[in-house]
Structure 1
Amino acid sequence: MLESFIFATVMCGFFGIIFKKNLVMKIVSMDVMSTGVIAFYVFVASREGLFTPIIGTATNDGTYADPVPQAVILTAIVIGFSIQALMLVGVMKLARDNPTLESNEIEKNNTP
């Protein structure tokens, strides 16, 4: 059931990127799709019965969680945030020269 909600989140973002014409809505849709992908990665990497690998705990059974997926997810979140900020700056620069943020109108105005 959780997989279907994650898949629906990814598909909502994907279809938003394709069908929305406003550039800000495209950026928001990309962020929604990125959130779904990160949620899917966390869902696949989660396992029951694993302990956090912290020195000093008294568990010696060897069932520790792998910290690499956590580092990858944190990196993906930071990179996604920076890409979103960069795209919003680009849209702000486009908004100075164009009266609208609709992609069709921008293409029409800037085509020779």
Structure 2
Amino acid sequence: MSKDAAGLAGLLATTGVLHFLAPKPFDGIVPRSLPGSPRTWTYLSGVAELAVAAAVAHPRTRRAGGLAAAALFVAVFPANVKMAADWRHASPAKRAVAFGRLPLQAPLIAWALRVAR
């Protein structure tokens, strides 16, 4: 497995597991426009991240996994926007984290597309 694929699979798996071990921070960034409980969306996104990590890790599904990872990074962007909006009056450190996540999506998407190739 390439370093790119291993790193992406590791990032997705780690984040996916965190959705179950420490769901509360993820609950807080679920957009209010989504129906149902934020916890349900936290768990669903955790499952999605774990499934995509597994797809990226396996050579036969790596292309599809990379494309799915790119789509996942696009899909979670509204949560990052919500976090930035919610934390706009927080401490400078929290604001830096929240606003720093927004432009980080572009290199994550590029990384996933690179793995898909």
Is the structural similarity TM-score above 0.5? no
TM-score by length of 1: 0.42
TM-score by length of 2: 0.41
The structure having more radius of gyration, on CA atoms, is 1
Structure whose residues are more often helix by fraction: 2
